Amino acid sequence: FPYTTKIQQRAKGNPEDTSVIYFRQTISNACGAMAVIHTVVNNVDRLDGNLVDEIAKRSQGLSPEERGEMIEVWDELAEIHAESSTVGQTEAPAAESIVDDHFVAFVKKDSKLYELDGTTTAKGPIDHGPCSDLLKDAAKVIQGYMQLEPDSYGFSMLALTTGG
């Protein structure tokens, strides 16, 4: 979505909330990768994969800043990020580029909807309250953001789901 001042001023997260695993983003222009990491680590019980398990295990007991630093120096993740950022239809911006778009993750945990935005403006996980349907409840939050920027067409969604 467009990362404008109006959207950055939305509800602030709670840095003390440990209901979800939250990472501070310390790598420039890695918000898409951070959104994926936030999503998979907070659904580790539903996923199968050594790397996902390893991220979840290593992040236990660390602060969001320490988790971000862990991601920053993890060579295997850096390689995966570098490889994945060079495929697709859009050229990835340089790490030092100023970009106007942003990715966040929405996860359902303990029947609550959380927005996970690793930037410093979010401060921590944003608790959007009770959640019965992840897609519908996240769409309501996103519609609120769209109302803040009614002339923007820069909103999109990606869902990570199980097959079937």
Task: Tell how far CA 80 is from the center of its chain.
Answer: 17
Q: Which of 38, 102, 128, 131 is catalytic?
A: 102
Q: How far apart are CA 34 and CA 104, in angstroms?
A: 8
Residue for token pair 């996923």: 47
Nearest to 103 by CA among 17, 19, 27: 27
| HSE-CB for 133 with a 13 A CA cutoff | 5
- Supply 8's token pair: 């950055």
Tell me whether residue 131 is one of the annotated catalytic residues: no
Q: How far apart are CA 149 and CA 19, in angstroms?
A: 30
Q: Which of 31, 38, 81, 131 is catalytic?
A: 31
Tell me whether residue 38 is one of the annotated catalytic residues: no
**Hey, which residues are catalytic here?**
31, 102
